Chain A
Amino acid sequence: MTTVRKRYRVGALPWIGPAMAVIFLMVLYPAFEMIKTSFMSIDPTGTSHGFAGLSNYRTLFRNPNLTAVLERTVIWTISIVVLTVLISLPVAQILHAKFPGRRFVRYALIVPWAASVVMTSTSWLWILNGYYGVLNRILLSLGLIQDQKQFLGSQTQSFTWLIVVAIFVSVPFTTYVVLAGLTTIGEDILEASTVDGASGWQRYKNIIFPLLRPALLISMVINLINVFNSFPIIWVMTTGGPGYSTDTTTTLAYKISFRNADIAQSASMATINFGIILLFIVLFLKVSRWRDDS
């Protein structure tokens, strides 16, 4: 009996082996290298000078911009994930309804998702340009503003616009996942609720929304990871500036590494980043399961 089971296990290796190799080479090994680098002393030329203990972390924690960047990363991630879901739910509902031209609208929604994020961000960068941007042109022509506005000038404005663009990029994916969830809900359940006299809102709250939970949870976890690690939108539109005022931990890690030429300190930022995203996911799964139990 045991020998059979053993042979069965070994026999599975050729099938799971490639997947394990990929996980080891592409996920675990780089993560190990990153954590190792964060404890090394590496000079600006890229030459390693051996083990440095916690000194990279100490320097990082002395960075006067770090606290603000951490706070901003939390605001960035949560606001985008939540707002994306709030927008995607009604949009998916509309796309689920039957109307002439629905197919066209569904295709149109794919565009911001299918386009490279760098392309989308570059378009927005020029739309918002303070001297030649088309948004300034439109608002001036409508008489809504009197002077050209620097939309990406101040910290508050540019950070708000970054969030808007990030939502714009995340909505299509989330909408499609919700839409897929909607198509799995059987017509018979909905019909039965109508027969029982449920109003539209009651039907949505008590039947549709609970049945969408699995789809929503998946899309939210994926968005959480994507948004947290999002680099191109911020980098293309503001490079985290002015100064460090629109940086998240991801762009800060990049700057420390490639602008300030400190690879090891950047690795310590990336390691902390890694920890934060794990924490985010664990917290999220806990919160969502807790709701399940009640």
Chain B
Amino acid sequence: MKRMTRGAAVTSAIALAVTMAVGITPSHAATTLTMIAADYPGDGHTQQDQWTDFATRFHAANPDITVNVIVKSWNDIDQYVATQIASGQTPDVVNKGDYSAPAAAGLLYPASKIVSPATLADILPAFLNNSKYNGVVYALPDLASARALFYNKDLLTKAGITKLPTSWLSLTTDLGIIHRKLKGIYGYAIPLGPEEAQAEFNIWAGGNGGSYYNYATKAWVLNSPANVATATFLKSLTTKGYTEPNPDKCDRTACAQALFAAGKAVFINGSVFLGSWLKANGGAKLNVGTGSFVSNTGHKPVTLGVQDYFTAYSKNGNQAAIQKWMDFIYEPANYAKFLVAAGGFIPATKSAGAKAASDPALAPFIKLLPNAVFYPGDIASWNSVKGQIQQGIGQAVTGDPAKVLGQLQTAAAAAK
């Protein structure tokens, strides 16, 4: 009896397995694409909804392709993508802020293979130029942002300052006036904490003729005289109490933007989306003005342009499906939805760019873009050097500028 039961169980188990196998065997080749996308600020958590909507509509039009989009916060995405690749679960498409390391490692399809020629022709050439590795475009710009100097008009009036500073010298004078007249208010909030220290320092250094990488000599120049002078200048502002205390601990969102929103800081470096961020975070009533950054005498003011990317990994060999999906994303109607969900960035396509130029919130930034400096995002070790800068560069302003920048330079030169 017992043996009978066991035999029956085995038979039915086999039968079940066979039916299941038949059940899941597709009648035609189905492809599943995995995409990992960064979560842009937007107005709340709209980004996951937008990608789910895209994936659903795309699957309806292409029943043989399923797209899984995993949305990750900016804090986690680099780590998540690296872990997925290291554990053999390479994604097909990634949407984040860098591309050079995987391009250098030969993991990516070139841009010409991931969108149709028509889509590629619609992307602004200036952005495509920042998407190359060894002369080949390996990434598609998804959107861009630029920075401007934001200031609290009411506080500036209270301090009796009528004209925006135009040089480091006049900036120092103005910050001194603010320090004397407005108790408990910081003149300039400089976030050199890990969140975005690389952006803050790049803008200041750019206004002094400094940069992170020298393309002529093909070398990192983190401790160039111009950069050391920049850190020394910032240190002098901090020592005098013209900035928030401990700028090396001050993160962009939780510290600098929060101080600005609370009316406790007069000047701040703000991105295209700062306006909408302030509205949602207690700064709706602020009287805010924008202008260009302040540079050292003899140098032109710069803005920082930041662009993010779509990259496609070749490991799973899903090139045809990826191209269909990417073309779908860049269809003008869909691309407009993507931009809205991301929250007020500068578009990377000609068709969307023409519309954005008449948007009052974006127009001033688009005007600044031609003078923008970009990160050396096409250098393979940029992502790793960026990490070093984020952790360490704040200490160049609170500690010994030359020594700290020298240590960062050594680390950058050794970075893979």
Contacts and interface: CB of A to CB of B under 8 A. Distances in A.
A261 B414 contact: no
Interface string A51-95: 000000001001110000000000000000000000000000000
Interface string B308-341: 0000000000000000000000000000000000
Interface stretch (B77-85, B211-219, B283-291): B77-85
Contacts of A261: 78, 82, 101, 383-384, 387
Contacts of A43: 101, 104-105, 416
B387 A153 contact: no
Q: Interface SS of chain A: helix, strand, loop or mixed?
A: loop
Interface string B62-85: 000000000000000011011111
Interface stretch (A3-11, A17-25, A163-171, A240-248): A240-248
A131 interface: yes
Contacts of B384: 44, 260-262
B107 interface: yes
Contacts of B248: 241-243
Interface string B95-111: 00000011011010000
Nearest to A147: B184
Contacts of A130: 245-246
A67 to B, nearest CB: 13
A65 to B, nearest CB: 8
Given A242-B395, A259-B391, A260-B384, A44 B82 contact: yes
B264 A260 contact: no
A46 B86 contact: yes
Interface string B371-398: 0000000001101100110111011001
A150 interface: yes
B77 to A, nearest CB: 11
Nearest to A245: B395
B292 to A, nearest CB: 28
A154 B246 contact: yes
B259 interface: yes
A46 B83 contact: yes
A242 B380 CA distance: 27
Given A45-B102, A242-B398, A263 B86 contact: yes
Contacts, number: 105
Nearest to B258: A131
B371 to A, nearest CB: 30
Interface majority SS (helix, strand, loop, mixed), chain B: helix
Given A47-B85, A153-B246, A243-B395, A258 B194 contact: no
B245 A153 contact: yes
Given A46-B82, A47-B105, A64-B407, A242 B416 contact: no
Nearest to A158: B249
Nearest to A258: B79
Interface string A223-267: 000000000000000111111110000000001011111110000
A42 interface: yes
A162 interface: no
Contacts of B86: 42, 46-48, 263
Interface residues on chain A, size class: 20 to 34
Contacts of B105: 43, 45, 47
Contacts of B414: 59, 62
A261 B248 CA distance: 21
A42 B78 CA distance: 15
Contacts of A242: 193, 246, 248-249, 394-395, 398
Nearest to A239: B194
Given A131-B264, A259-B390, A150 B246 contact: yes
Contact of B194 (A64, A241, A245): A241
A238 B234 CA distance: 22
A248 to B, nearest CB: 15
A216 interface: no
B415 interface: yes
A270 interface: no
A179 interface: no
Contacts of B404: 243
Interface centre among B81, B107, B262, B391 (most CB of A within 10 A): B391
Contacts of B264: 131
A100 B136 CA distance: 77
Nearest to B102: A45
Given A45-B102, A259-B387, A261-B387, 15 more contacts: A44-B82, A44-B380, A45-B85, A45-B107, A46-B86, A47-B105, A59-B414, A63-B411, A131-B258, A150-B249, A241-B391, A242-B193, A242-B394, A258-B78, A263-B82
